[in-house]
Amino acid sequence: MTKVDRRVVKSQEAIKKAILELMAEKNFDDITIRDISDRANVNRGTVYLHYLDKYDLLDKIIEEHISNLSELCRSASEMSFQEGNYVWFEYFAEHHLFFSIMLNTKSAAHFRSRFLDLVVQEYKVEVDVTEGKNQGLNQEVILQFFGAAVVGAVEWWFRNGMPVPPRVMAEQTGILLDRNL
């Protein structure tokens, strides 16, 4: 395994934080590489060393979080919905800046779509339409319904400044999912 230079990691983290802070202040289309490099306190060339452009930067940030959430799902696969949700909500709280921007700005439609796709994929194994309360229903309708509910609840949580602790969100959304899946 190759050792990653801490200076590289520090620069990349500063660049990622800079673009998110800037997105909280203005429209993504109005953000320049100069804005990002100034905010991150790095040279423009450093930004281009790691990313093709601001779109590549944002895509890489989104992919990183989607990948992390997917990994959390795999590690929580044996947990109840409540316990698994807690892992997610703790992650959401830890990365508040990213999620609040991605779920509350017009320029974040791509992330919302990717997040919804992830939620739908993760619940696919839980939906049984051959027996029980969902018998005879269309699996895709159920998945879209619950996916939209989960994403909507997370959006509400961030839009309102996380008015309840992550554990409460996890418990209550978990109870609702347990009741209905």
pTM of the complete model: 0.80
Domain spans in the chain, listed from the N-terminal domain onward: 1-51, 62-180
pLDDT-flagged residues of the chain (< 70): 1-2, 106-107
From CA 175, how far away is CA 153, in angstroms rounded? 13
**pLDDT value for 1:** 58
pLDDT digits over 105-127, tens only? 766 778 888 999 999 998 888 88
Q: Check if the beta carbon of residue 116 is closer than 8 Å to that of residue 67.
A: no
Amino acid at residue number 134: N
CA atoms within 13 A on the CB side of 105: 20
**pLDDT value for 78:** 80
Amino acid at residue number 122: E
CATH class, range 1-51: mainly alpha
From CA 92, how far away is CA 158, in angstroms rounded? 9
